[in-house]
Amino acid sequence: MAGNNSGRLLEPQSLFKATAFNHISYGVSDIPRSRDWFMDLFGMNCVFDDGIRCSVDFGDPPNAFYVVKSKMPDGSAHVDHLAISVADFDLKGSEEILKKYNLDPEYDGDFAWTILDPFGYRVQVCAERGVFPGAAIPGAVEKDSDHPTGDKRSRPGVFKATAMNHVAYQVPDYTVSRDWYIDVFGAKLVFEDGLKCSVAFGNPENALYITPLRFRSGNEARVDHLAISVADFDLEDAREKLEKFGLDPEPDGDAAWTVLDPDGYRIQVCAETGVYPGAANDFFHQLPKKK
């Protein structure tokens, strides 16, 4: 099915029941710097660090950032893949399902398969527990190791991150991606306006905001920004805290601020509820609606 935009997989039954974003694989220029930034700003916990890659997590069920070295030629930050936890994961059974629907699963350790979505973006189908950075590397051992800087495992943080509010995903045709994530992961459609949509799964809800490509030169899907829910969000209080932290928050509706991380990547600090695609007067509001 990878790269096949011709039709739906199933209706109305989905292949899996997604429960959360297991992790976001995030490539950066300086791993310790980004690790500490997420810990200091969002109160995330560092649960894996082998000196080559690390994982900081937050929320219940846990969402995680797998912080790895950027693979981009210029060293710029990018989201390498999305990993989605599914209920009742079984390694062999999942492989059989994915092969049945021509999704060409690639083994990624005993707790995950990697597939390609309709626009060639890497997505992992994961167990709810047991996945960690480098799990598929021969001889990999899940462990916590000392941070190179001697930092502690956790920090209080300016905010308390509670969930991955949403991942903003830009594609050539949002309807194709919409149907694929519904069919494969059992995501539910929670917002659509003819230009863009939001599909969500889990409790608390993790959402994928599927929008048209911001830059029309090419058809390569990309993650535009990441949004993190924080406890007890107050718009003005959040602005003051972000500025005190040394950031320049950009207003993004009445339930979020957008900031730039150390690599200049867009991160939203969000209320736990109330954020949806186009909540601010953003680019997509400038596009004419389809008739």
> What are the pLDDT digits (tens) for 84-120?
999 999 999 999 999 999 999 999 988 999 999 999 9
CATH number of the domain enclosing 213: 3.10.180.10
- Within-domain flag for 147: no
- Within-domain flag for 117: yes
Residue 2 pLDDT greater than 70, yes or no: no
- Within-domain flag for 237: yes
- Within-domain flag for 142: no
Rounded distance, CA 31 to CA 38, Å?
11
Same domain for 64 and 170, yes or no, is: no
* Span 24-43, pLDDT tens digits: 999 999 999 999 999 999 99
Rounded distance, CA 15 to CA 29, Å?
36
Same domain for 165 and 118, yes or no, is: no
Of 250, 196, 246, the closest CA to residue 227 belongs to 250
What pLDDT does residue 41 have?
Answer: 97
* Peptide bond just before 204 cis, omega within 30 deg: yes
Q: By residue range, what is the domain housing residue 106? A: 18-126
- The predicted model scores a pTM of 0.84
Residue 58's H or E segment, with its range, is: strand 54-58
Rounded distance, CA 258 to CA 252, Å?
6
Cβ 186 vs Cβ 202: under 8 Å: no
What radius of gyration do the chain's Cα atoms show? Answer: 18
Count of structural domains within the chain: 2
- Within-domain flag for 141: no
Same domain for 280 and 193, yes or no, is: yes
Same domain for 261 and 195, yes or no, is: yes
The 3-state DSSP class for residue 235 equals helix
Cβ 92 vs Cβ 69: under 8 Å: no
Same domain for 169 and 110, yes or no, is: no
Please state, rounded to an integer, the average pLDDT across all residues of the chain. 84
What pLDDT does residue 146 have?
Answer: 43
More confident residue, 288 or 16: 16
Rounded distance, CA 264 to CA 118, Å?
28
